[in-house]
Amino acid sequence: MTDSAGQAGAAASAEAAIDTETPAISRVYDFLLGGKHHYDVDRIASNAMIQAVPETKLLASANRAFVRRSVQYLVGEAGIRQFLDIGSGLPATGNVHEVAEELNPDVRVVYVDKDPIVLAYGRALLSKNDNTSVVTADLRDPDAIFAEPEVKRLLDTSEPFAILLGGVMMHLEQHEDPEGVAAKLRDRLPSGGYLMHSGCSDPGDDPRAPELNRIFEQFQMGSRCFPTYDEQIRYFDGLELIEPGFVPANQWRAGLDFPDPDNPAHPMVAGGVARKP
């Protein structure tokens, strides 16, 4: 996505609803990806991460690359034409609808994020795209997401669709029941639907993972941002994982778009795609 006067105006109108004193996950992610939609507090948090773990930007880019490749698979090979991108974040190059529309211009996409600035920028950008929309809702309340009028307008949930969880489940606390949230989302999928999940992971032998998790917790962005592979694979319970399974993100149908593919930090980001029988 690119900046525009419309985006800037819409974002300004949402300013009153934006907390600029606390880092926001979407804005920190935007900074790490080289975006422009962030505040001083987000830059401070991001730089603390980079100082502690210099590969932090690499991890964000690797997650983004995995999301793009999973969408290419879902549209190009699995034939999916409907997407619900939960925790979509702020506008960035290679968004889901852009990747999908290169393969099929009829794909429909609903972006979901709880940050009001995402709604402001998204609606400005997508004002002329009838097949794509953005809503403000919270991952922790799947029922509310599916009750959104724009979700009902764009997605026929009786037909196969894909739920995308790119780097968002990692920010749920244990008391928020991430496995239960994933189960509710899986239950919404019809036969032939897909769940994509990616996020930071603790490979068990890398001290950078707990160190970066400490920074996330310090800046109030989650205390369990690096769950183990075994914890995360449960999100796919009852589904059929697509080869090569739930693996380090740069090993999933690897392509030239993965940044620094041989970097040893890559096991700290994992991803997978699964189909509901």
CB 182 within 8 A of CB 162: no
Q: How far apart are CA 173 and CA 169, in angstroms?
A: 9
Chain segment 84-97, per-residue pLDDT in tens: 999 998 867 789 99
Residue labelled with tokens 């196969």: 160
- For residue 10, what pLDDT band results from cuts at 50, 70 and 90? very low
State residue 91's pLDDT score. Answer: 66
pTM reported for the whole predicted model: 0.92
Q: How far apart are CA 98 and CA 102, in angstroms?
A: 6
CB 262 within 8 A of CB 205: no
Structure tokens given for 81 = 């034409």
- Provide the domain count of the chain: 1
- For residue 23, what pLDDT band results from cuts at 50, 70 and 90? very high
Which are the contacts of 6, defined by CB distance < 8 A and separation ≥ 6? Answer: 124, 125, 127
Secondary structure of 29-86 as H, E, C letters = HHHHCCCCCCCHHHHHHHHHHHHHCCCHHHHHHHHHHHHHHHHHHHHHCCCCCEEEEE
The boundaries of the domain holding residue 34 are 5-275
Q: What is the CA radius of gyration of the chain?
A: 17
Q: What is the CATH number of the domain that holds 210?
A: 3.40.50.150
